[in-house]
Amino acid sequence: MIDLKGKRVLAIGERDGVNGAAIEACVRSAGAEILYVETQCFV
């Protein structure tokens, strides 16, 4: 079981799944710090 609180997160989203900004907002709400955010696009 991982506890996101205090973790430093690389948020690597995808346009057709969950994007990076959404991951960032969600993990921040759990107490994590963001190191990097990206939204990949494979089209």
Partner 1 sequence: MDLEGQGRIKQAVERAGTDNVVAILGANSPAAVEMTALTLKSGDPSYAGPLAGIELGIPSFHILEAAITEQIDPALYERELALPALAMDVDEVVKPLLTIREN
43 binds partner 1 (CB under 8 A): no
**3: CB partners within 8 A, 6+ apart:** none
Rounded least distance, CB 2 to partner 1, Å:
6
Rounded least distance, CB 38 to partner 1, Å:
6
Rounded least distance, CB 30 to partner 1, Å:
4
Query: What span, in angstroms and rounded, lies between the C-alpha atoms of 21 and 15?
Result: 10
Query: What span, in angstroms and rounded, lies between the C-alpha atoms of 37 and 41?
Result: 13
Binding site for partner 1 (CB under 8 A): 1-14, 16-20, 22-23, 25-27, 29-31, 35-36, 38-40, 42
